[in-house]
Amino acid sequence: MIRDNAFICPRCHHAAEYPGASRATDGRDIEICGPCCNDEAVREARGLPVQKMADWPVPSDWNRDAE
């Protein structure tokens, strides 16, 4: 989603400059922000499920260390 020339992440609703592909879809065709991409990658590496799109937006208090 683009708002005022800024990408708005559909997963966390924060503005981002460099979107990446979400693991929530088989085709990885939904773009999300870098911190959300990182969160999904860490979840996948730890064997945890990636949050389904139905659970988006994620809670606003999740860890956003990458910001």
What mean pLDDT, rounded, does the chain reach?
81
How many residues are listed for the chain in this entry? 67
Determine the pLDDT at residue 45. 95
Judge whether residue 25 has pLDDT over 70. Answer: yes
- Number of C-beta neighbours around residue 39 at 10 A: 23
- The amino acid sitting at 67 is E
Determine the pLDDT at residue 4. 61
The band of 66, judged by pLDDT with boundaries at 50, 70 and 90, is very low
Determine the pLDDT at residue 26. 85
Q: What residue spans of the chain are helical by DSSP H?
A: 34-45
Looking up tokens 């937006």, which residue turns up? 57
The band of 2, judged by pLDDT with boundaries at 50, 70 and 90, is low
Residue 67: name the closest of 9, 2, 4 by CA.
9
